[in-house]
């Protein structure tokens, strides 16, 4: 006989589970920002979130799983915002600028997110997720920025160069290697993207 899961203090079990998951991801981001990816363990995250470790394993298989969930919690909304913004744009130049603006704003709105993003090369799971991100965004950008066929090899090559190059340049800028303020960096990304996107 299956037991009935009753609300606790008026809050449904699924709602409590989702809140615990969110609290664990927030704790993970805090730890990455303060001490780096090496500080991320199930024990440390659970303690930071004020939860028993069993709740960690209720939502995540291991530390790599929560790191990926943390970066996806940012990339998912960013993808949605990009699609909405691009739908309002006319020219290719305008679409390139809008992509640069959304991208930079995503990673500067929360310094914990920037810390996680720049940690990717040192963690195999995060590095793999960043590569997957390039593969996922590329066809969308071919269609919505260049307004080209994703099967067109020239358009695909151009967009791959734009996405992979932007990924690396963004990483360097977030690390402080490029002495540009946010507005200058957006203008630089936009100018480079427009050159690549030119017929």
DSSP notation for 62-88: SHHHHHHHHHHHHHHHHHHHHHHHHHT
Please tell me the predicted confidence (pLDDT) of residue 8: 55
Query: Could you tell me if 49 and 82 lie in one domain?
Result: no
Query: Could you tell me if 135 and 41 lie in one domain?
Result: no
| pLDDT of 10 higher than 90 | no
Average pLDDT, stretch 60-73?
Answer: 94
Query: Is residue 88 a contact partner of residue 49, using CB atoms and an 8 Å limit?
Result: no
Residue 74 CA to residue 77 CA, distance in Å, equals: 6
Residue 199 CA to residue 188 CA, distance in Å, equals: 19
Domain count for the chain, please give it.
2
Average pLDDT, stretch 76-90?
Answer: 86
Query: Could you tell me if 56 and 32 lie in one domain?
Result: yes
Please tell me the predicted confidence (pLDDT) of residue 7: 58
Query: Could you tell me if 77 and 102 lie in one domain?
Result: yes
Average pLDDT, stretch 166-180?
Answer: 92
Range of the domain at 53: 13-60
Q: What is the largest CA-CA distance in the chain?
A: 66
| pLDDT of 148 higher than 50 | yes
pTM, to two decimals: 0.81
Please tell me the predicted confidence (pLDDT) of residue 184: 97
Query: Could you tell me if 56 and 108 lie in one domain?
Result: no
Residue 176 CA to residue 197 CA, distance in Å, equals: 27
The residue behind tokens 């996806």 is: 72
The answer to whether position 6 is within a domain reads: no
Helix ranges (DSSP H) in 109-152: 111-119, 124-144
- Bridge partners (DSSP) of residue 106 are none
Query: Could you tell me if 124 and 181 lie in one domain?
Result: yes
Please tell me the predicted confidence (pLDDT) of residue 44: 96
């Amino acid at each position: 006989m299956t037991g009935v899961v009753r609300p606790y203090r008026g809050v449904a079990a699924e709602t409590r589970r989702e809140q615990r998951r969110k609290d664990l991801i927030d704790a993970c981001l805090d730890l990455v920002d303060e001490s780096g990816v090496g500080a991320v363990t199930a024990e440390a995250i659970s303690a930071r979130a004020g939860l028993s470790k069993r709740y960690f394993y209720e939502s995540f298989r291991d530390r790599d799983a929560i790191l990926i969930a943390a970066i996806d919690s940012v990339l998912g909304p960013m993808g949605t915002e990009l699609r909405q913004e691009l739908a309002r744009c006319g020219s290719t130049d305008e679409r390139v600028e809008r992509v640069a603006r959304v991208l930079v704003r995503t990673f500067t709105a929360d310094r914990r997110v920037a810390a996680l993003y720049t940690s990717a090369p040192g963690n195999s799971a995060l590095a793999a997720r960043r590569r997957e991100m390039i593969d996922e965004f590329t066809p969308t950008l071919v269609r919505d920025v260049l307004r080209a066929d994703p099967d067109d090899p020239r358009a695909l090559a151009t967009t791959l160069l734009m996405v992979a190059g932007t990924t690396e340049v963004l990483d360097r800028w977030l690390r402080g290697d490029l002495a540009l303020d946010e507005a200058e960096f957006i203008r630089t990304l936009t100018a480079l993207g427009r050159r690549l996107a030119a017929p």
